[in-house]
Structure 1
């Protein structure tokens, strides 16, 4: 009664209306924020899947192109991906192989295939299967002169080795397995992580993510503006990556520590081109998720050797 006499009843009703409207707008805002977050996550997942599919397509196209050079009906007898203890066991087995003087060939094979001098030596041993060695390039080839053992190995760091005939195979374990102090850095357009390792144990870590826009489906000026903003964000991200790896550039405090740079191929290449980095090796790896688990996956993928029995 008093509120009505003083004119406060209508004010209280108005306050109730505004509070209800405020609650409705808050719920709408929260729902919109959740939708945007879900959309951003979905966009990121889709972009990562596109990257994986593009890498797989490129691999299959390469296999198809190389396969045209092989003789019909010729295929590898066995193919396996080795890492860790299993890889060590296979390396031990290859290292234990003995033959007569100059009976075991170890040769680095680049993208152009076997050198002609080596090809002539192996023609009688492998015959048509020699094409499989070219198909595995770049790789390390181990063959004995009796054809008892013939394998190709694609380690993380393919050695640039001249053909060597000896009574055993020449295998440098540091090309296959993590040894000593080294660093592995993972670079994506929106993510960076670097770990310092003593053997296979990580002793230091740093990682971060950057806010980089995803894909855009609209055309015209809107798309051009979107792509320009995205390119600027990627440039800023790569600048942060360069700063994080400055110690590994020539003259830096960690310049003597081997650096392996892995991640999205285009992003890795751009980082190397735009910096003074001289990584020991680079590789394209498929590593998604947050920085720390993504780095773990990248390291596992990098330190994997493909074995082909030809």
Structure 2
């Protein structure tokens, strides 16, 4: 309404300004065109305003839905973790044991003697690389296993891979972790278990250098027969025990402890270099065990192309039986699924 009053006011002023009828009509046409433009602009503005309001409402609704979905996801994740914990407590290996090398011959012999009237025996050799890539056993073969076995396989941790012997009748469900890595992966389903690759790994000629690292007491040694060291050496240093109190005294104590450890590392590193340089056999592999973080620190600047294998074993250094570390290193770990 105010727009029309404005137009009427403009017409009055124009009548006073112009005396010619034609000029007056031209001015009226221009004003009417301007009014039409204003009306179009008004409708466009109202339309955009409505669109903006709808977009804002849609955005608020989407944000509320997203918030609700995140809450639901968090709740389900918490419930899933609880279920996993329950399953973990209920499902466990029926047996975990270490089998020393001499007894493994009898083990593989018994496994190889098992026969089936039809192809129902699954043998799977899985390398560490495939375990890390979560490749491992193919989906088709995995579906042949019972659910408990599928779950337990995911819990196995190994630096050397593993071999699984599995009977579809679930009479035999075994996993063996070898002392040194398998060279290749393979899966077979037949009327007997395939033990040749395991036997080859267990009897393979290999010269190893062992580094059992501990703060203050470390062992290095070379072995060519897996049962005893050809030569070995225990390096000892004075390293302070960990401080249990807080404050400045603890920080100072820990600094002194770190200096002691650095000194021990240098002693072990020099001894290891000398042992490798003077070795009478060609070393195929360095096996690091004990405190593997410390072992890697010792090996950090050792100039060698020798393969390094980490083994997570309880590498206690027995004063009168250092060969016990070798027995542990070359034992197999057995799981019954």
**Fold shared per TM-score above 0.5:** yes
Q: Structure 2 residue aligned with 1:169, among 194, 200, 203?
A: 194
Instruction: Please name the residue that 2:310 is paired with.
Output: 282
Which residue in 2 is equivalent to 1:82?
Answer: 99
1:178, CA displacement in angstroms? 8.0
What is the CA–CA distance in structure 2 between the aligned matches of 1:240 and 1:218, rounded to whole Å?
Answer: 29
Structure 1 gaps, min length 5: 1-63
1:190 matched to 2:213:
no
Sort the Cα spacing of 1:275 and 1:220 in 2 relative to 1 into closer, same or farther, 3 A: farther
Partner-residue secondary structure (3-state), 1:207? strand
Aligned match of 1:140: 163
Identify which range, 231-240 or 189-198, moves more after superposition. Answer: 189-198
Q: Superposition pairs for residues 103-252 of structure 1, below 5 Å?
A: 104-108=122-126, 110=128, 111=131, 115=135, 118-138=138-158, 139-144=162-167, 147-159=170-182, 161-165=184-188, 167=190, 168-170=193-195, 171-173=197-199, 175-176=201-202, 179-199=205-225, 200-246=227-273
Go from structure 1 to structure 2 and tell me whether the alpha carbon gap of 1:206 and 1:128 turns closer, same or farther (over 3 Å shift). closer
SS in 2 for 1:169: coil
CA contact under 8 A between 1:177 and 1:303: conserved in structure 2? no
Equivalent-residue separation in structure 1 for 2:295 and 2:86 (angstroms): 30
Q: Corresponding residue for 1:54? A: none
Deviations 1:201-227 (A, max 9, x none): 332122221111122244443322222
Q: Unpaired segments of 5 or more residues in structure 2?
A: 1-80
CA distance in 2, matches of 1:305, 1:231: 35
Q: Structure 1 residues 128, 289: CA separation in 2 closer, same or farther (over 3 Å shift)?
A: closer
Matches within 5 A, 1:262-277: 262-276=289-303
Two-structure CA RMSD over aligned residues (Å)? 3.7
SS of the aligned residue for 1:157 comes to coil
The higher radius of gyration belongs to 2
2:269, 2:328 → 1: CA distance?
23
Residue 193 of structure 1 deviates from its aligned partner by 1.7
Query: What is the CA distance between 1:231 and its match in structure 2?
Result: 0.9
CA contact (8 A) 1:113 1:134 kept: no
> Normalising by structure 1, what TM-score?
0.63
Distance in 1 between residues matched to 2:248 and 2:93, nearest whole Å: 52
1:188 and 1:263 in contact (8 A); partners too:
yes
Q: 1:261 aligns with which of 247, 272, 288?
A: 288
Q: After TM superposition, give the deviation of residue 291 of structure 1 in Å.
A: 5.3
Counterpart-to-counterpart distance in 1, 2:234 and 2:137: 48
What CA deviation, in whole Å up to 9, does each residue of 1:240-285 have, x standing for no partner?
2112222577998766332212112321232233434554422233
